[in-house]
Amino acid sequence: MMKKLIKPLVGLGIGLTLFLPANQGAYAAETIGELRKVDNVAHRGASGYAPENTIAAFDKAVDMKADYIEIDVQMSKDGELVIIHDTTVDRTTDGTGKVKDLTFEELRSLDAGSWKSPEFSGEKIPTFDEILDRYRGKIGVLIELKAPELYPGIEEKVAIELIERNLNKPQNEKIIIQSFNFESMKKMDKLLPTIPIGVLTSSAKHTTEQALQEFAQYAEYFNPSYGLVSKELVSNVHALDMKIGSWTVRSQEAADFLLEMDVDAIITDFPDYVDPRN
C-alpha cells in the first residue's frame, strides 16, 4: 500500500527558535543555523494546570498557545462519543463504573473537575462534537481512540463527525488520529485516507526496522513513550517519511531531552515546558 500523499503542515509551534541542550541553558536561542520546528501538543489539554480532558484544560492549552490539544475518545452505552482517558470514570469524576456501561446522560451528570481542585467543580465530560465545534480553527486536535476494541463502530462514528465538518481535508484544519490499537488505525486510514494517522507504543519491539516499515504503510506518525526515544530512532522514523511525536512530558528535563533528540512533536501536560513564551 502506498502511503498517503497529502500530509499536514506541521511544526508551526515554536518554530523560530533553536533550543539547545539543557546544559547550555534550556531556552538559549540561536540566531543562525538550522531552525527547529516542534509541535507543542497539550496532553489531555494543559492537564498540568486544569483537570484533564475538560473544557478548562483545553481552553488553557489555547491560552498557552499550544499547537494541538490531545483528546481521548470513547463511547457511552448509548453510542455518544465522549472525551475521557480511563475506561472507567472512577479516577477523574465523582462517579464509578465503566464508560461503556454508562449512558451519556449518566456520564454528563458527573463532576469531572473537583478531583483536581475545588475551583474546577462542575466541569463536565465533553463530547467529541463539542470539542470539534469549539476548537476548530483555533488549535489542532490530536484525536486518540482509547481502547477502540471496546467500542465496535467507533471508527465510523469518528469519521462521520469529521467528514460532516469537512475536517477530513487537511488544508482546512490540523487533525491527526492515533491509537495503541494498530488494527483500528488501519481502519481509520481506509475511512479517512487524507487524515494523518499515528501509532502509539511504549514497547521497544515496535521500534525495529521491520516494525517501523509496517507502520509506514498506513501511518504518518510514530509516537513512542519518551523512554524509547534516541537519535537513532528519530533518524530511522524520518528515513521512512514519518514524523515522531513523544509523550508524556511532565518535567523540564524530559522536554529538554526530546528537544535535543529532534522529535517533531512533544506531548506534554505542561505546554510551557516546551514553549517558554508561556
The catalytic site residues sit at 43, 85
Q: Alpha-carbon distance 147 to 150, whole Å?
A: 6
Burial of 196 (0-12, 13-18, 19+ CB in 10 A): buried
DSSP β-bridge partners for residue 83: 73
Burial of 240 (0-12, 13-18, 19+ CB in 10 A): middle
Is the distance from CB of 81 to CB of 128 less than 8 angstroms? yes
213 alpha-carbon distance from chain centroid: 22
How many Å from the N-terminal Cα to the C-terminal Cα in the chain?
42
248 cis-preceded (ω within 30 degrees of 0): yes
Cβ atoms < 10 Å from Cβ of 2:
5
| 200 φ, ψ (degrees, to nearest 5) | -105, 140
